[in-house]
Amino acid sequence: MESPPLIELHPEIQKANNLMLEKIRSELPSDANIPGTYNNGGLYVMQRGNYALAWSMFCEGLAALEDGKDDLEAILCDNMATCAKHLGHSEAAINLYTRAIRRNPAFEKPHQNVSLLLLRECQFKMAWLYYRKRFLARQQISQLTDPVSGKNFKDLETVTRRQLNGARIALVNEQGLGDTLCFMRFAERTERWGAEAIYFVPPPRLAKRLKPRYGPVQVVDAFPDTCQIGVPIGDLPLLTGHGDVEDDYPAPMEILPNPEYQEILERCLKGFPRPWTGLQWRSGVLKLKHAGGIYKEYPFDLVEALADRLPGTKIILQRNLTPLEVQWLRGRNDVVNLSAVSDDLDRVCAVLPTLDRYITVSNTNVHLGAGLGLEDRMTILSTFPSEWRWAEGSRWFSPAQIVRQQVHGVWPEFE
């Protein structure tokens, strides 16, 4: 059995892990499925944020695995890779994800996982090839239907550029709003397909803020019956050759501002001292934080300290404020609460250009701000491990300031 990559844990953490593993060994029944038991136990502690102990448990399971158990080895390697990523070892994680794929090529999950990690490392060409498996690996988009054939995209082969030449194409949205805006950066590059016509039906909340056309792509309310091929927008990078050249970062999809509401807002804020700084410190679903979901948070005690040292007026855009946060807001005279506006995309497109600065965790508003040309006003707080758009060396949102949380949860100070 091939040994896993070596990851050195802090001696005290390793000591605690060894004690826990000894306890587990002593309590296991003699007929227990050792690899499966350690895998399940590792998943349990990983989903509670203890990646170091989870790593040790997965290693125990892998060491006990008999040769020929390729399916279980693939599962263990995929889980170990996720631990390695959260422990700050990207190279080990990539090796483990690809090992999982070698052991079981039909196992879709590591394809999705390694694609996102390769994107973090700016290895775009290989990343987009693995990303094609997302329909099989991600339950939330696994039922997406091709409007042309009526079939599920997960049951269809990925189209080739040659098939797109001269065709009438339906670009199918498959993502949340932020990802939609990110992938539609590639819309204008579809001109190289030589298609007869390309149509895109945006999410309803986004429709009013888009131009009628982006290069050859027409923004429409519904796909014409004449469409011949459906292309999910997550395939745009692959089909437009992203990664064929180095340092390739397409510009954001242009978003139309909302000048009427912006004028009203500026009149309302006129009496508040400048600079006006927008603050947003949380997004996603907390219960999914360690279970493969997306959750980002800048600790509220650091938000309080940040607000104390920032000059001017703080504009709060955080949704779903807690009672403690509401109480904090009421105790300050340098804060304006616009949290309700964050649910209204049209108004967000008026608020963001009004701000002198926007400090936020990654969310849809960051993509909107980029589309409004406001990157130079944004400070993005990126939780560890950084998503591919905020990783070291990435320039997707240049010249925005990126503040990255460190591997052990420490946030660096920033100005």
pLDDT digits (tens, 9 = 90+) for 76-88: 999 999 999 999 8
CB atoms within 10 A of CB 104: 18
Task: Please tell me what DSSP assigns to residue 341.
Answer: G
Question: Can you list the positions of beta strands (E) in 233-368?
Answer: 276-280, 282-284, 295-297, 313-316, 335-337, 357-361
Superfamily in which the 11-107 domain is placed by CATH: Tetratricopeptide repeat domain (1.25.40.10)
Class of domain 259-404: alpha beta
Cβ–Cβ < 8 Å for 103, 73: yes
Task: Please tell me what DSSP assigns to residue 145.
Answer: B
Q: What is the pLDDT of residues 90-125, one digit of tens each?
A: 999 999 999 999 999 989 899 999 999 999 999 999
Q: Stretch 207-225: mean pLDDT, rounded?
A: 96
Instruction: Please say if the pLDDT value at position 1 is more than 60.
Output: no
Triad 291, 120, 232: Cα angle to 5°: 75
Q: Stretch 360-379: mean pLDDT, rounded?
A: 97
DSSP H stretches of helix in 28-89: 34-46, 51-63, 70-86
Q: Which residues, in sequence order, are bridge partners of residue 278? A: 315, 358
Residues 6+ positions from 318 with CB-CB distance below 8 Å: 279, 280, 281, 282, 325, 339, 342
One-letter identity of residue 341? V
Size of the chain, expressed as the number of residues it contains: 415
Instruction: Please say if the pLDDT value at position 140 is more than 70.
Output: no
Cβ–Cβ < 8 Å for 155, 204: no
SS3 for 221? coil
Q: What is the pLDDT of residues 218-235, one digit of tens each?
A: 999 999 999 999 999 999
pTM value?
0.91
User: Which residue ranges make up each domain of the chain?
Assistant: 11-107, 141-239, 259-404
